[in-house]
A = this chain, B = another copy of it.
Amino acid sequence: MGYGTVGSGVVEVIENHKRVITKRTDGDMLEVSHILDLRDFPGDSHEALFTKDFNDILNDDEVKVVAETMGGINPAYDFTMKLIKAGKSVVTSNKELVAQKGLELLNAARENGVNYLFEASVGGGIPIIRPMDQCLAANNIEGIAGILNGTTNFILTKMIEEDMSFASALKLAQANGYAEKDPTADIEGFDACRKVCILASLAFGKHVYPNQVETEGITSITLEDVAYIASVHGVIKLLGQISYISENEIAAFVSPAVVFHPSQLASVNGVFNAILVRGDAVGDVCFYGPGAGKLPTASAVVADMVDAAKHTQRRKIFGWGEGSESYVVDHKEVIISQFYVRARADEGEIKRIFGDVKFLNRYGKPAGEVAFITDKMNEYTLEKKLEGVNVINTIRITNY
């Protein structure tokens, strides 16, 4: 359902991998029987399979597994719910839908004895849902940090490595097809926020909704910040961060963050994604790969379709329960970290407030500007200390 970039990739991957798919399913084939899209695709070699009527799929008893690659909540939600209730497994790349309605759809899948799988909704082609499930089996997960949006990572990489302005880097991303004409969902962090919701729900067992995850994008990042942070072997990344606080409390937020080398996250460049999982026994493991793109994302959708075709009974591993309004706590209160601060001030003023902090330098630093790294504290303490200081920008330094 949905013959856009990912959907057409799904058909392509199924057709080009008949041999491996058949091997995985012990001889059963995946055959594409219908393609739902309201648009026309004249001349497409699958023209005979197209339909504009969802009921053609819903009412076809031969259809056991459906891929939903439409995006958005409606009508994807209605369609998915109807299919699940009709006893069909659904596989999706639709992060918005999983983040917003995942709990309902997973519950419906459980009640109807089918699967609702969503590996492609986080990290594109990177296997992350099942590896995380495996980490969970013998670890208490302490936290997760991820570069979850390729568009913003591409823009930041261009700013860091080629001294390109935010505006120019965004234009280049659009010219390369990495960013939409309206780039809001990417650059304001909304896309990363949805993926944080899915990862948090899966890792800690309670649904997290997008409106619970405080989200800040990258539009305030300047080349001056990039230069100061480069001087101490750091880079600015848009990170989704999730921390376990207690059985009934987590922190989850999206914001620009300073990452120092040699963190594995610091060397993730361009449109790539990476997800770092910190377990109490295993330590840090990191999963890296293409976070978007036609064939990578389609290959994750098809792997889920194969899994659904193999396991006609419901898979038990992917599910979570209802959280509460107070489940996601205020990260500004509970997360203790260092901060990067840039301000119009003199070093003496800063030292009086923050003590003997590390001041940073950059080529062309004007008189009367300071940049420095604070000790560890929570964000409210930082804000309080900075009252009365002419602050230009502050960025959290990640603990990953």
Count of A interface residues, CB-CB < 8 Å? 50
**What's the Cα separation between A304 and B299 when bound, in Å?**
26
> Restricting to A219-265, which residues have a CB under 8 Å from any CB of B?
261-262, 264
CB of A295 within 8 A of CB of B269, answer no
A300 at the A/B interface (Cβ < 8 Å)? yes
A104 at the A/B interface (Cβ < 8 Å)? no
- In the assembled complex, which residues on chain B have CB atoms less than 8 Å from the CB atom of A285? 125-127, 287-290
- In the assembled complex, which residues on chain B have CB atoms less than 8 Å from the CB atom of A126? 285
- In the assembled complex, which residues on chain B have CB atoms less than 8 Å from the CB atom of A306? 137-138
A55 at the A/B interface (Cβ < 8 Å)? no
Instruction: Report A74 CB to chain B, min CB distance, Å.
Output: 28
- In the assembled complex, which residues on chain B have CB atoms less than 8 Å from the CB atom of A298? 138, 281
Binds B, one of A17-25, A45-53, A338-346, A348-356: A17-25
Binds B, one of A56-64, A128-136, A176-184: A128-136
- In the assembled complex, which residues on chain B have CB atoms less than 8 Å from the CB atom of A21? 137-138
Residue of A13, A138, A295, A298 most packed against chain B (CB within 10 A): A138
CB of B131 within 8 A of CB of A299, answer no
**What's the Cα separation between A400 and B91 when bound, in Å?**
31
A185 at the A/B interface (Cβ < 8 Å)? no
CB of B127 within 8 A of CB of A134, answer yes
Instruction: Report A300 CB to chain B, min CB distance, Å.
Output: 7
- In the assembled complex, which residues on chain B have CB atoms less than 8 Å from the CB atom of A119? 134
Identical copies of this chain, number: 2
CB of A302 within 8 A of CB of B130, answer no
- In the assembled complex, which residues on chain B have CB atoms less than 8 Å from the CB atom of A13? 138, 281
CB of B267 within 8 A of CB of A131, answer no
**What's the Cα separation between A138 and B23 when bound, in Å?**
11
CB of A138 within 8 A of CB of B303, answer yes
CB of A282 within 8 A of CB of B125, answer yes
Contact A24 to B137, CB < 8 A, known contacts A262-B267, A285-B126: yes
CB of B136 within 8 A of CB of A20, answer yes
CB of A299 within 8 A of CB of B138, answer yes
Partner of A130, one of B130, B264, B266, B316: B130
User: What does the 1/0 interface line of A259-301 toward B look like (CB < 8 Å)?
Assistant: 0011010111100000000011111111111100101101110
Partner of A284, one of B24, B286, B289: B289
Partner of A286, one of B17, B139, B288, B307: B288
- In the assembled complex, which residues on chain B have CB atoms less than 8 Å from the CB atom of A300? 138, 282
A112 at the A/B interface (Cβ < 8 Å)? no
A26 at the A/B interface (Cβ < 8 Å)? yes
CB of A287 within 8 A of CB of B287, answer yes
**What's the Cα separation between A266 and B261 when bound, in Å?**
13
Instruction: Report A378 CB to chain B, min CB distance, Å.
Output: 28
**What's the Cα separation between A281 and B17 when bound, in Å?**
9
Partner of A17, one of B26, B140, B268, B302: B140
Contact A282 to B299, CB < 8 A, known contacts A17-B138, A20-B139, A307-B137: yes
Residue of A131, A281, A284 most packed against chain B (CB within 10 A): A281
> Restricting to A17-41, which residues have a CB under 8 Å from any CB of B?
17, 20-21, 24, 26
**What's the Cα separation between A26 and B137 when bound, in Å?**
12
- In the assembled complex, which residues on chain B have CB atoms less than 8 Å from the CB atom of A139? 17, 20, 299
Contact A290 to B281, CB < 8 A, known contacts A21-B137, A138-B21, A303-B135: no
**What's the Cα separation between A284 and B127 when bound, in Å?**
11
**What's the Cα separation between A299 and B299 when bound, in Å?**
29
In the A-B complex, list the 5 residue pairs whose CB atoms are closest, starting with the nearest.
Answer: A285-B289, A281-B299, A138-B302, A125-B282, A267-B267
A13-B138, A20-B136, A138-B298 are known; give 4 further A-B pairs, CB within 8 A. Answer: A21-B137, A127-B285, A138-B306, A283-B289
